[in-house]
A and B are shown apart, each in its own frame.
Chain A
Amino acid sequence: MLSPAILIPAILNGLLTGAVYALVALGLTLIYGVLHIINFAHGALLTAAMFAAYFANRWLGLDPYVAAVGLAPLFFALGYALQRCVVGPAGRGDDRNILLVTLGLAVMIENALLYVFRADTRTIDLPYAFDTIAVGPAFLAVPRVIAFAAVVAVALAVGALMRWTDIGKAIRAVAKEKLGAELSGIDAAHVYAVTFGLGTACLAVAACLLLPSYYVNPSAGNAFVLIAFTIVVLGGMGSVAGALIGGLIVGVVESLSGLWLGESLGQVGIFIVFILVLLVRPRGLFGEHA
């Protein structure tokens, strides 16, 4: 059970899975960091992005990695519009209302997809889907290695954007002190919408990275979003570094507890980590405040 020949591949695969989790969590944590609400529509939006990537492949023949270049701006626009036209106005700044609105959106999007595409599970065929590379005793699937590299690149890009660009500074300003930012001439509604758009664009990229090795159906995103909640709580709400490290930790925890407890009980391991973190240290590993 504990021999390195089993353990090392399990840990490496956990890290690769964790990277995609981290990207989903990154979108969630960006939105939480600024709007201070949990976007319950995150999973449904991920599913929508997976369907978009699927049909980009089936109808336009686009490789998912190419489709990501087009889908990311498209989903940025979708997220921007959702926040500007639906979540913002309907929520009226009350946390409880925003929770309900994003939950309502989740139900709408997921079931609209179910209504149009039925519950069928779809996959795409790619020539490289089953290629592997050997790393020590482990054979790693090529699409997952590519996903890992892409997630690191996206996370660095988001970090740079937040740190050095004007909009990044504006986002951080609104997150810290909304009223002060508004008094300095920052349009908070615009900043909120940009943040929501960024979070949604992360999902589009995540969907394109998932598709080569994962399936699509109207509830495919849900599996990821509960894990993303865990990661965001573990890493600290609003922390980009926390999302990355939390994602990798959760990927490894899932992989190892799956190894020892079996697939479905392995999931319980994640939720128990989640509940314990919430109860004992709700600000997470890297969060500034609860």
Chain B
Amino acid sequence: MKPYLPIAGVIALLAAVPLVTSSNVVLDFLVVAFLTALVGQGWNLLGGYGGQYSFGHAAFFGTGAYITAVLQVRYGLNAWAAFATGIAAGTAVGAAIGALVFRAGLRGSYFALVTLAFAEVLRILASVAPVTGAGVGTLIRLDLRWQVFQFQSRVPFYLIALALVALSLVLMHAIARSRFGAWLVAVRENEDAARALGVDATAIKIAAMTLSAAVTAAGGGFYAQYYLFVDAGIAYGPWVSIEALLAPIVGGAGTVFGPLLGALVVKTLGEGAKVAAGDAPGLDLVIYGSVLVLVVAFAPRGIAGVVADAWRWRARRGDTTAETGHA
């Protein structure tokens, strides 16, 4: 269990927040950050570890959100069951798109484009199909009972969001330490070389996309329960896909804690911009965009990379044996 201690520590620390404050502003901020971290962790699995930069993770988020909402509202399914089905549906979409796209051998720019196109097709379909509420969207009826995944206070939502983040961290960590994770990184670093060594790169990438979609779809389902409203722009809009990659890139793509770290930093910057400039539309996104460019330019391994470099530099300066001993 020792490798999981850092995760346990971080989660325990965050779980203590509701004991310290009951401020809805703080809890709401953290829930949104956790949601971003969860969606980002999904992206990180495929993009950070697998090197396949998806620009269309909204396809999975939106499917999770819509299925969760529509099954309750239109078909009277229990909210928890709808949530689970939403995750399953998002996973299936991920597996299907992954199988199509990776079998066709699309990489790099082409992969980014085709994922974007799938998300856009789903967005347009959702904005016209009657079952999704078309342009109006789907509203989940307010009914504050835990049996239907709704709560009087923010605290249970906070803990559920945190539990989902914890699960995603453990999953990511387990994958990173597994043979599957090593294959995934090999495909990222040099797909042709990995194939030459006998790694079934196509199967690995499809599996990664399926898992990635599951994690991101969980974020979508949670979103539907938290805000009780879904429409095509919220669920499948391009902004969802951008946010999904922003958090891990800023925090450190291909690291376990990158998405959580990045989500907290990005959301703090966004809130800071709102405080500084009032509720002017666009300014927070200008900051997100600049952060993305600056991170890629000056800290390509994200905050986690900067921290790791600083740590190594200190260790080397302090005691040369400390580093080798640590490794």
Contacts and interface: CB of A to CB of B under 8 A. Distances in A.
B292 A100 contact: yes
Contact of B289 (A90, A91, A107, A222): A107
A38 B283 contact: no
A207 to B, nearest CB: 20
B297 A265 contact: no
B53 interface: yes
Interface centre among B101, B108, B286, B290 (most CB of A within 10 A): B286
A222 B233 CA distance: 14
Given A37-B109, A38-B109, A278-B110, A271 B121 contact: yes
Contacts of B124: 264-265, 267-268, 271
A115 B282 contact: yes
A95 B282 contact: no
A289 interface: no
Contact of B281 (A37, A114, A229, A275): A114
Ordered nearest first, which 5 A-B pairs have the shortest CB separation? A107-B289, A108-B289, A104-B292, A114-B282, A90-B297
B288 A100 contact: no
Contact of A275 (B118, B288, B291): B118
Interface of B: 51, 53, 55, 100-101, 104-106, 108-110, 112-114, 116-118, 120-121, 124-125, 127-128, 238, 242, 245, 249, 280-283, 285-286, 288-293, 296-297, 300
Interface centre among B105, B280, B282 (most CB of A within 10 A): B282
A171 B113 CA distance: 25
Interface in A222-240: 222, 226, 229-230, 233
B110 A115 contact: no
A36 B107 CA distance: 12
Given A99-B112, A115-B280, A278 B289 contact: no
26 contacts: A38-B112, A38-B113, A86-B293, A86-B297, A92-B300, A99-B53, A100-B249, A100-B292, A101-B293, A101-B297, A107-B288, A110-B285, A113-B282, A114-B282, A115-B281, A226-B116, A226-B117, A229-B117, A274-B114, A278-B101, A278-B104, A278-B106, A279-B104, A279-B106, A279-B114, A282-B104
Contacts of A265: 124, 128
A290 B125 CA distance: 29
B16 to A, nearest CB: 35
Contacts of A122: none
Nearest to B125: A268
A97 interface: yes
Contacts of A101: 292-293, 296-297
B292 to A, nearest CB: 3
Contacts of A278: 101, 104, 106, 110, 113-114, 117
A280 B113 CA distance: 15
Contacts of A109: 289
A103 B292 CA distance: 8
Interface of A: 32, 36-38, 40, 86, 89-92, 95-97, 99-101, 103-115, 118-119, 218, 222, 226, 229-230, 233, 262, 264-265, 267-268, 271-272, 274-275, 278-280, 282, 290
A95 to B, nearest CB: 5
Interface centre among A226, A262, A272 (most CB of B within 10 A): A226
Contacts, number: 131
A269 to B, nearest CB: 10
Given A229-B116, A279-B104, 8 more contacts: A86-B293, A90-B297, A100-B245, A100-B296, A104-B289, A115-B282, A265-B128, A279-B101
A264 B117 CA distance: 15
B289 A279 contact: no
Interface centre among B51, B112, B285, B289 (most CB of A within 10 A): B289
A37 B117 CA distance: 17
B117 A271 contact: yes
A265 B113 CA distance: 20
Contacts of A100: 53, 245, 249, 292-293, 296
A262 B125 CA distance: 12
Given A115-B280, A264-B127, A275 B292 contact: no
Contacts of B283: 111, 115
Contacts of B292: 100-101, 103-104, 107
B48 to A, nearest CB: 11
Contacts of B282: 110-115, 218
B180 to A, nearest CB: 22
A227 B234 CA distance: 22
Nearest to B277: A115
A118 B281 contact: yes
B281 A119 contact: yes
A120 to B, nearest CB: 11
A289 to B, nearest CB: 12
B121 A272 contact: yes
Interface centre among A36, A104, A275 (most CB of B within 10 A): A104
Contact of B293 (A105, A271, A275): A105
Contacts of A268: 121, 124-125
A90 B289 CA distance: 14
B106 A90 contact: no
B286 A108 contact: yes
Contacts of B242: 103, 107
